[in-house]
Amino acid sequence: MKAFAALLERLTFSPGRTAKIALLRQYFAHQPDPDRGYGLAAITGTLALRTARPALLRELAAERSDATLFAWSYDYVGDLAETVALLWPDSAGGGMPGLAAVVEALQQTAKPALPALLAGLLDAGDASERLALLKLITGGLRVGVSARLAKVALAALAEGRASVDAIDEVWHAQRPPYGALFAWIEGRAPPPEASGAAHFRPPMLAHPLSAAEHGAITPALYRAEWKWDGIRVQIAAASAPARLFSRGAEDISAAFPDVLAAVDFNAVLDGELLIRHGERIASFADLQQRLNRKAPGAKLLAQYPAMVRLYDILFEAGEDLRPLPFDARRARLEAWFARIAPARMDLSPLVPFADFAALAALHAAARAEAIEGLMLKRRDSAYLAGRVRGAWWKWKRDPLRIDAVLMYAQRGHGRRGSFYSDYTFGLWREGVLVPVGKAYAGYTDAELLLLDRWIRAHTTARFGPVREVAPALVLEIAFDGAQRSSRHKSGVALRFPRIARLRMDKPAEEADHLEVLLRLLA
């Protein structure tokens, strides 16, 4: 457990991607099987463990510490698992067993025996092992490592034997502690079998289109499609049971039983998950309602019916179509769709265009809520994992902008915990500021410090972690869209609002009025 605890500790504090990869790589290189496989599972979120509630941690701590001292300590540290880990008395325990032994013990222990097991482990370990254990069983590793980054580290370890995409290709057919995967990566065994269970195939991604490439976009070379404002999904129905994956390979099947109920075919499809009311595609905010719910009830399913708008086909009846050019796949997709006619799905139409100027006009006019811009796909491009330069372009419509006034600020979390980094901004309506949104992003570190200092100097009231500030700072807010919303006081909800610029130069009275925003509504 020591090595895993040390890894978590360093990952927590290392902001750099390269550093995180180096730390992971070293861990995978030096830890034995099956310890490292469970470590990989814990980091990528595939480890199924019995979880402990905070109340159990408190009860355990109460047996080993004075209540008053515990309360003062918790108040000071601010994190329950960390408080218990630090304050638990050291006994010359000689260290916890390895991660695999700990995981297996947790998996095999019946619930009533859990407290005794935990107390024994806490006694055996040191503070850093205790923290790793407690974070593991409370499900809060939070080390800022995505599954993708862990695979990048595995690929680094493979030294050319396995690429990130090749690892991605088989990843979802593997289970902790990933013995076969490590054997392949270290060159001791052939690649593990990827077929069989329905699993995720790494998706093809697009580069943003810049002005330099405009000249290359001709109807002879490229097809155009709308870029939909939902989430990219993959329907993996090559074997039963079918599954629905997000673009990040997260299995979201349980959240979308309505979509999966319509899957009665043998194919792997690429498309956009959307909420549809009759013919109208709903805003992203509606989709958010479904994404937030791991197991939706009947009412939610009826209120926000989901569908998938298809744009590519990867496998049909076991045949891998990915090597085919886009046009050929498109023809297969259309033929397949005409034949199967699946419920809760439709085809994302091709958008015909005569030349680039015509396309640019379409791009500029795209204001429908559900459209984020255009996708441009080379007609002769095979379906390749990752971002292949020149094959697919995304051409997002330009962000909308308003000048708003900072109203409230709140402390951030994690790395930004000591700064005021979450901002509520408002627009004028009849001489009064009405809050219209919150921004957490878009600023540089230097701007964050500046904002933090400004906020501390201009606070007019405090409510817990929130500060109200004098209406004197103008923020230029960029956002991708605006929808009517009854949940917001202003009647409008912004999509992806972020701070484009600090307008220190602009008097607050000259910030925009709410009407300006209302006029932008689709």
Partner 1 sequence: MAHPETWLKVTPEGLYCVPAGCYIDPLRAVDRAIITHAHADHARPGHRAVLASAATLAIMQARLGAGAPAEGQPLGYGERLRLGDDVTLWLVPAGHVLGSAQVVLEWHGSRVVVSGDYKRAPDPTCAAFEPVVCDVFVTEATFALPVFRHPPPAREIARLLASMALFPERSHVIGCYALGKCQRLIALLRAAGWEAPIWLHGALLPLCALYESLGVALGDLRPASAAAKADLRGALVLAPPSALADRWARRLDDPVLALASGWMQVRQRARARGIELPLVISDHADWDALNATVDAVAAPEVWVTHGREEALIHALGLRGIRGRALRLLGYDEEEDTAA
Residues that bind partner 1 (CB under 8 A): 6, 10, 12-16, 19, 22-23, 26, 65-66, 68-70, 72-73, 76-79, 82-83, 86-87, 90, 126-127, 414-415, 417-418
Residues 306 and 259: their CA atoms lie apart, in Å, by 6
Residues 225 and 227: their CA atoms lie apart, in Å, by 6
Which residues are 364's β-sheet partners? none
- Smallest gap, in angstroms, from Cβ of residue 78 to partner 1? 6
Cα separation of the two ends of the chain: 55
* Count of other CB atoms within 10 angstroms of residue 160: 8
Contact 153, 147 (CB under 8 A): no
Nearest partner of 522 among 480, 483, 477, 486, judged by Cα: 483
- Smallest gap, in angstroms, from Cβ of residue 136 to partner 1? 16
Contact 223, 350 (CB under 8 A): yes
Q: Convert 378-411 into a string of H (helix), E (strand) and C (coil).
A: ECCCCCCCEECCCCEEEEECCCEEEEEEEEEEEE
C-alpha of 514 from chain center: 31
Q: If you search the block for the tokens 């405090």, which residue do you land on?
A: 462
Residue 294 structure tokens: 């791991």
* Count of other CB atoms within 10 angstroms of residue 444: 10
CB closer to partner 1 out of 52 and 81: 81
Q: Report DSSP letters for 174-203, one per residue.
A: --TT-HHHHHHHTTSSPPPP--SS----PP
CB closer to partner 1 out of 105 and 127: 127
- Smallest gap, in angstroms, from Cβ of residue 434 to partner 1? 33
CB closer to partner 1 out of 70 and 337: 70
CB closer to partner 1 out of 19 and 441: 19
CB closer to partner 1 out of 70 and 315: 70
For residue 44, the SS3 value is helix
CA distances from 445 to 18, 391, 420, 450, 475 (A): 20, 34, 12, 9, 16
Residues 241 and 178: their CA atoms lie apart, in Å, by 22
Tell me the backbone φ, ψ of residue 211, rounded to 5 degrees: -55, -30
Burial group, residue 109, by CB count within 10 angstroms (0-12, 13-18, 19+): middle
Residues 475 and 499: their CA atoms lie apart, in Å, by 7
Q: If you search the block for the tokens 């947790």, which residue do you land on?
A: 106
CB closer to partner 1 out of 66 and 193: 66
Contact 227, 309 (CB under 8 A): no
Contact 311, 230 (CB under 8 A): no
- Smallest gap, in angstroms, from Cβ of residue 192 to partner 1? 29
H-helix or E-strand spanning residue 378: strand 371-378
CB closer to partner 1 out of 67 and 212: 67
User: Active-site positions?
Assistant: 227
Residues 42 and 448: their CA atoms lie apart, in Å, by 32
Residues 98 and 63: their CA atoms lie apart, in Å, by 26
Burial group, residue 381, by CB count within 10 angstroms (0-12, 13-18, 19+): buried
- Smallest gap, in angstroms, from Cβ of residue 145 to partner 1? 15
